[in-house]
């Protein structure tokens, strides 16, 4: 344990005059699931591509397996599994041929690939689809195939760029289950996401990014403890009455966020806060008591909610 697989110091990526990644520092240890969480354009994919040795860094330092991605890109890539944001499967080929040819790009012998294909099809729950053309798969199946493809070389480190974006809730849960199995097997995973619940489910440690910078770092629990309160009371008022309601809420919660359609009260005991709201004579259209999530942390840190 405590062997650093990826180390970044002042890591920076610029495209012409746009700074996509703006001097970030992080260390990723063997065996952990590390998350990059942030909204569109935060620079998550840019970081993934630099770690994946497919995009040169602009400034700072980056080592992967202790190697330099620029000089030793080929070796690094041979030890990585990459699930890109876009699947980039060969839609014209069959499911098994996609796995086969990808294995060949790692110079694996046919026999080894054919053995692994069976295991991977089972893992991705695609045994029935082995001879189907990829273009006929559902979105969730394609995503599972992309993950299976990334495992063909038995990678030490797996990069997953938004593994569940665009999938329906059921497909997401199937994928989470698969990723959880990888974690149980001791794989090191790096995941980007804009879903707070995904980060909470999967990540041991994560950084919250905004506009190319890291704005917070820690375990999901510690981030919530540090940057939010334990519970949240979400109040929705009838149209046009939120303004006046806000006046009466004054001083009720240690922290309060006003969104377009609802008010969030951050408190340690949401039930007590709700009783207090009633005591002040306020009639909310709906009131939801819930635990604080990373979404709330993000809102706190950036003043904006994450786009879903």
Partner 1 sequence: MTTLPLRIFEGQALNYTQVWRASVFSNFLNPVLYLTAMGIGLGSLVDRNPSAEFGGLDYLVWLAPGLLAATGMQSGAGEGSFPIMAGLKWIKTFPAIMNTPVSVTDLLVGLLSWIGVRLIMICTIFAGVLVIFDAADIGRALLAIFPAVLTGLAFAAPMAAFTSWIEDDTGLTMVFRFGIVPLFLFSGTFFPIEQLPDLLEGLAYATPLFHGVELTRAAALGIESALPVWQHVTYLVVLFAIGARLAQRNLTKKLRP
Distance of alpha carbon 141 from alpha carbon 161, whole angstroms:
16
Residue 164 binds ligand ATP, judged by CB under 6 A: no
Total chain residues near ligand ATP (CB under 6 A): 13
Residue 46 binds ligand ATP, judged by CB under 6 A: yes
Residue 164 binds Mg ion, judged by CB under 5 A: no
Question: What are all long-range contacts of 162-170, with beta carbons under 8 Å and residues at least 24 apart?
Answer: 162/44, 162/85, 162/192, 162/193, 162/194, 163/83, 163/191, 163/193, 163/198, 164/193, 164/195, 164/198, 165/85, 165/193, 165/194, 165/195, 166/139, 167/139, 167/140, 167/143, 168/140, 170/140
Contacts to ligand ATP from residues 129-148, by CB under 6 A:
none
Residue 302 binds ligand ATP, judged by CB under 6 A: no
Q: Which is nearer to ligand ATP, 23 or 31 (CB)?
A: 23
User: Which one, of 83, 293, 295, lies nearest residue 190 by Cα?
Assistant: 83
Tell me the pairing of strands 157-161 and 188-193: parallel
Closest CB 190 distance from ligand ATP, rounded Å: 13
Q: Which is nearer to ligand ATP, 24 or 277 (CB)?
A: 24
Closest CB 85 distance from Mg ion, rounded Å: 5
Residues near partner 1 (CB under 8 A): 15, 49, 52, 54-56, 73-75, 77-78, 80, 82, 84, 86, 88-93, 97, 100-102, 104-107
Nearby residues of 169 by Cβ (< 8 Å), 6 or more positions away: none
Which span sits near Mg ion by CB under 5 A: 6-14, 43-51, 103-111, 167-175? 43-51
Helix (H, G, I), strand (E, B) or coil at 287: strand
Among 45, 153, 292, 302, binds ligand ATP (CB under 6 A): 45
Closest CB 141 distance from Mg ion, rounded Å: 22
Residue 45 binds Mg ion, judged by CB under 5 A: yes
Which span sits near Mg ion by CB under 5 A: 52-60, 79-87, 147-155, 277-285? 79-87
Closest CB 16 distance from partner 1, rounded Å: 11
User: Which one, of 84, 88, 91, lies nearest residue 132 by Cα?
Assistant: 91
Q: How many CB atoms lie within 10 A of CB 212?
A: 22
Residue 98 binds Mg ion, judged by CB under 5 A: no
Question: What ranges make up the beta strands (E) of 98-204?
Answer: 157-161, 188-193
Angle at 70 between CA 66 and CA 73, to 5 degrees: 70
Closest CB 69 distance from ligand ATP, rounded Å: 16
Closest CB 106 distance from partner 1, rounded Å: 6
Q: Contact positions toward Mg ion, by CB under 5 A?
A: 44-45, 85
Q: Contact positions toward ligand ATP, by CB under 6 A?
A: 15, 18, 20, 38, 40-46, 85, 194
């Amino acid at each position: 344990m405590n062997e650093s697989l990826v180390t970044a110091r002042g890591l920076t990526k610029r495209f012409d005059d746009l700074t996509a990644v703006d001097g970030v520092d992080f260390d990723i240890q063997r065996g952990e699931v590390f998350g990059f969480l942030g909204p569109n354009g935060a620079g998550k994919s840019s970081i993934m591509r630099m770690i994946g040795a497919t995009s040169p860094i602009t400034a700072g330092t980056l080592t992967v397996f202790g190697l330099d991605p620029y000089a030793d890109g080929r070796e690094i890539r041979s030890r990585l599994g990459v699930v890109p944001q876009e699947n980039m499967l060969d839609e014209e080929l069959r499911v098994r041929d996609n796995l086969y040819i990808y294995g060949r790009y790692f110079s694996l012998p046919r026999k080894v690939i054919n053995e692994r294909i069976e295991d991977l099809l089972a893992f991705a729950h695609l045994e029935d689809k082995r001879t189907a053309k990829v273009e006929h798969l559902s979105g969730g199946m394609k995503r599972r195939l992309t993950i299976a493809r990334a495992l063909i070389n038995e990678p030490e480190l797996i990069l997953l760029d938004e593994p569940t974006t665009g999938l329906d809730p059921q497909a997401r849960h199937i994928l989470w289950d698969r990723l959880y199995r990888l974690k149980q097997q001791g794989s090191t995973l790096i995941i980007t996401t804009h879903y707070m619940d995904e980060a909470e489910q999967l990540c041991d440690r994560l950084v919250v990014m905004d506009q190319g910078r890291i704005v917070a770092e820690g375990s999901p629990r510690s981030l919530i403890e540090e940057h939010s309160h334990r519970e949240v009371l979400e109040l929705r008022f009838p149209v046009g009455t939120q303004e006046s309601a806000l006046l009466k809420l004054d001083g009720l919660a240690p922290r309060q966020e006003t969104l377009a359609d609802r008010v969030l009260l951050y408190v340690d005991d949401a039930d007590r806060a709700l009783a207090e709201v009633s005591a002040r004579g306020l009639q909310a259209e709906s009131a939801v008591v819930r635990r604080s999530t990373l979404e709330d942390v993000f809102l706190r840190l950036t003043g904006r909610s994450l786009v879903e």
